[in-house]
Amino acid sequence: MRTLKAISILVLAALCLPGAWGQVIVSVDPHAAGKPIPSNFLGLSFETSATLPGSDGTYPYFTSKNTQLIQLFQTLGIKSLRIGGNTSDRPSVPVPREADIDHVFAFAHGAGVRVIYTLRLRDSTPSAVQQTAKYIMDRYPQQVDCLVVGNEPNVYEHTYPHYADDLRSFYPAVLQAAPTARFCGPSTTPGAGIWVDGYIHDFASLPQLYEVTQHSYPGGNSGKVTSPEAGRAAMLSAAFPEGYQRLYKVFGPAANQAGVRYRIEETNSFFNGGAKDVSNTFASSLWALSYLYWWLDHDAQGLNFHTGDQVAAGEIETPCWYATFWNTPNGLEVHPIAYAMAAFHLADEGKLIPVTLSKPSPGAEVFATVNPAGDIFVTIINKNFGETAKPVDFQLSLPSGYSAVTEMTLLAPGANIAATSGVTLGGGTIDSYGRWNGRWKNLAADPGLHSATIDLPAATAMVLKLSVTPKVR
């Protein structure tokens, strides 16, 4: 058996550290049964206030003329746009007008995304939402995934029976004005398990129910992060996935048993806008890439990462440290978390397939997908970090017929998880116009190869593309 020794990422500072974990053999089978990857898995979530014009009458985000943001959506593979957040239910925030809605859907058309749109529930009435629902569904039915009545209703409705009674009034009113509407819900905060259970029990049989939606901020309140170092370490620790599992148990099995799909409609690292020097660092890249695959493996239909220049934390506005990007006078300032989405997008077609490891590798994760053309994508994430962190040595067994190998590496300068800039994917960056110039690196194309060795440094991720060896004619 020949082994491809050339497939190595050599970072001397990392590889000089003693005591690597030992070689881990990775095996994948492109023909194995897998989980289909939803075409709109990757999504972003914005406050309803983001749809409104500024004091100068211009729209900061959603207009067909915002070619920079349209390009960024396409670069990252964003296919779902959720409009909601706390401002969708805040009485002091105007309900978007018809012209505002038109701009949202013009943008959505240009970006090639479908929309989840939140209707106001708090201090509202069924008749008040009819006009908006009718306007949207009369004009943009092909661009709408679903309508959501209320954002995090457990915060102000107080009891689930009260909320359910409200929906029994709001849903028929919406359908009377917009018979083709579909609904999502309950869109509650992570701790409102009884609300999700009740919603599934009461509304799973509703023909117009599109999917169950839930919010998730695994780090909890950003105000309780004791230090940036502690926050970054938490994001990359085993405690975060343990939190995903606890949340999944709240609604995942019940949704599956009821035969309804679910989506994490609003999510990010820590709520209340994230934590400075935590949510805006390279640690968020490694975390988000792993997070996307975790929920894909647990049958989620997609994730919408909440973003914006500012977000609503309760009744106040706060800087958005977990933002995918910020608007600046010079264009978009793209943040590290965006690179996780771009890396995921490289491999987000086809199906997720099982990965077999010869032994566990502490702090490292491996995922694999295969696209309709038969290309296999193996994503490896080394979450170990710091001066004593160790590289991980992988030997990837190449399935029969595969020996053309290329790679893209996701990294920060000096493998520094605290980096807020300088992140690259495939050697390239995402510029202020939303354009990315990364490239696949050709590593080998030899029909005689059967395995590849990869030394992956700490605080680094890599996407390997395995292609079928071209047949000689």
- pLDDT tens sequence across 115-124: 999 999 999 9
Confidence bin at 318 (pLDDT 50/70/90): confident
Q: To the nearest 10°, report the CA torsion of 130, 133, 136, 138.
A: -70
The three state secondary structure string of 105-128 is: HHHHHHHCCEEEEEECCCCCCHHH
With a cut of 50, say whether residue 280 has pLDDT above it. yes
Mean pLDDT of the chain: 92
What fold does the segment set 38-345 form as a domain?
Answer: TIM Barrel (3.20.20)
For the chain, give every domain's residue range.
2-35+351-468, 38-345
The residue to which tokens 């992570």 are assigned:
190
pLDDT score, position 445 = 61
- pLDDT tens sequence across 40-88: 999 999 999 999 999 999 999 999 999 999 999 999 999 999 999 999 9
The residue-averaged pLDDT of 99-106 equals 98
Instruction: Record the tokens describing residue 40, joined without a space.
Output: 């709109």
The residue-averaged pLDDT of 389-416 equals 93
Domain 2-35+351-468, second-level architecture = Sandwich (2.60)
| pTM to 2 decimal places | 0.94
Which residue would you say has higher pLDDT here, 443 or 332? 332
Which residue would you say has higher pLDDT here, 389 or 139? 139
Whether residue 52 contacts residue 94, with contact meaning beta carbons closer than 8 Å, is answered with: yes
pLDDT score, position 353 = 98
Confidence bin at 265 (pLDDT 50/70/90): very high
- pLDDT tens sequence across 370-396: 999 999 999 999 999 998 898 999 999
Which residue in 223, 204, 87, 66 sits closest to 150, CA to CA?
Answer: 87
